[in-house]
Chains A and B, each alone.
Chain A
């Protein structure tokens, strides 16, 4: 009865892919690349249309047949997309915000590395960052298990 994170994707300032990690076996990586790409458009639309909502967490971007896509943007215009498999249990905003906070923290730690060039368009390959994202993606199922 728990929903699982299928994919965590980080998109840089110039809409270049920074990091995409596929946690599920059901869909190929390419599908998540497409999802992340379309999410960029949805995020930009939400951000430019609603200056009233000044929150970093954007919320549910869109839902597909069995996947729900949530978005988050930082003040430095780095976008984070998390794809969750839709099950019957309700996904709370607070849980998703927590996940995004962790991803943001991992990204900030990565950025503080003086050897990392922020303006380059390359993807992230640092082991510490990859480990942190893996930890977020794999421990999530225990949190939203609802006991009915």
Chain B
């Protein structure tokens, strides 16, 4: 699965650069949209036998626990919220990044990994959207393999 993601991001980056100087923004948007569709369908399939969710916090907790376990066989390590619609999910050992590194290491590999982080963002956004929670998801990685996702609920 890690290899699939890597190859997919590389392919999209390659095909996108042949167009006009479309920034990386267009590429990220495409990846995120792909993730969105995948997230919607995953959630449809995996919430089939669960009881209904009580509120938004319940939905986010589902994402952190069950959904993350399904996708990455582990749960989110840290969930923070400001109770005003912003949730921060921290994964200290993001499975898709575990095998990535560069010679310089540290900040450089974090920068190079940023395109790869949009697909999981899209997955989270799609999952939330299909459960009835419109949101905006951004991610940052300062230190591979650690990864932080920030969810802002649209009111």
Contacts and interface: CB of A to CB of B under 8 A. Distances in A.
A13 B131 CA distance: 10
B107 to A, nearest CB: 37
Given A76-B131, A118-B130, A55 B44 contact: no
Nearest to A52: B54
B130 A56 contact: no
B132 A76 contact: yes
A28 interface: no
Contacts of B54: 51, 54
A76 B54 CA distance: 13
A48 to B, nearest CB: 12
A75 B132 CA distance: 9
Interface string B24-61: 00000000000001001101110110111110000000
Given A51-B54, A55-B51, A75-B52, A112 B45 contact: yes
Nearest to B40: A118
B47 A76 contact: yes
A104 B78 CA distance: 33
Interface residues of B, number: 16
Contact of B48 (A51, A77, A105): A105
A76 B46 CA distance: 11
B45 A76 contact: no
A76 B130 contact: yes
A38 to B, nearest CB: 22
Contact of A77 (B37, B41, B50, B132): B132
Contact of B52 (A13, A54, A111): A54
A54 B50 CA distance: 9
Nearest to A56: B52
20 contacts: A13-B132, A51-B54, A54-B54, A56-B51, A73-B52, A74-B44, A75-B43, A75-B47, A75-B52, A75-B53, A76-B130, A76-B131, A107-B44, A108-B44, A108-B45, A108-B48, A111-B40, A112-B44, A112-B45, A118-B44
Given A56-B51, A75-B53, 19 more contacts: A47-B52, A54-B53, A55-B51, A74-B47, A75-B43, A75-B52, A75-B131, A76-B43, A76-B130, A76-B132, A77-B132, A105-B48, A108-B48, A111-B41, A111-B45, A112-B41, A112-B44, A112-B45, A118-B41
Interface of A: 13, 47, 51, 54-56, 73-77, 104-105, 107-108, 111-112, 114, 118
